[in-house]
């Protein structure tokens, strides 16, 4: 964590964000480390965790709407899309699902890069970018090993 990030965002949130990407690293490593017979299990575990994180990312939009006591439908609709897309990816072969989730992580970040400044939470984008890049690379590594 650099000093600019530490002074502009919560140290707790930054630390927890990095802790939250640990299962991505462990999952991707396990896909490659286990024998062929266990690879589907480790791939599915990584895929499931990715789906949980993508759902969380979508849920942030609901939180932003709730915090402002807004009734804007757009952010509420968008907030559900990542969860549904990640669920569909979970139904696919793990390699395909992990590729889809990697694309979803990037898509979510691209949308958040546009929406967060409008919502006054652009301060979180540098952390989001680092977490997204790391998680995406782990999904790609997991897909390659699946």
How far, in Å, CA of 38 to CA of 141, rounded? 16
Q: Output the tens digit of pLDDT for each of the chain's 146 residues.
A: 444 444 457 899 999 999 999 999 999 999 999 999 999 999 999 999 999 999 999 999 999 999 988 888 988 999 999 999 999 999 999 999 999 999 999 999 999 999 999 999 999 999 999 999 999 999 999 999 99
Residue matched to tokens 């804007």: 72
Note the helical H segments in 9-120.
11-20, 22-33, 39-67, 73-91, 94-119
Q: What is the pLDDT of residue 121?
A: 93
Please name the residue that has the structure tokens 């390699």. 95
Integer Cα distance of 33 and 42 in angstroms:
10
Q: What angle do CA 52, 99, 101 make, to 5 degrees?
A: 25
DSSP state, residue 92: S
Report how far Cα 97 is from the mean position of its chain's Cα atoms.
Answer: 14
Residue-level pLDDT at 8? 59
Q: What is the pLDDT of residue 22?
A: 97
Taking the CA atoms of 63, 67, 68 and 71 in sequence, report the sign of the dihedral they define. positive
Residues counted in the chain? 146
């Amino acid at each position: 964590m650099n000093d600019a990030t530490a002074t502009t965002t919560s140290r707790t949130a930054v630390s927890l964000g990095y802790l939250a990407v640990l299962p991505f690293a462990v999952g991707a490593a396990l896909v490659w480390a286990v024998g062929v017979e266990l690879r589907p299990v480790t791939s599915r575990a990584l895929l499931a965790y990715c789906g949980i994180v993508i759902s969380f990312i979508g849920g942030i939009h609901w939180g932003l709407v709730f915090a402002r006591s807004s009734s804007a439908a757009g952010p509420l609709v968008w907030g559900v899309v990542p969860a549904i897309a990640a669920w569909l990816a979970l139904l696919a072969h793990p390699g395909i699902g992990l590729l889809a989730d990697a694309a979803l992580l990037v898509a979510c970040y691209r949308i958040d890069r546009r929406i967060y400044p409008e919502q006054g939470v652009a301060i979180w984008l540098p952390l989001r970018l680092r977490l997204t890049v790391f998680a995406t690379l782990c999904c790609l590594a997991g897909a390659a090993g699946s």
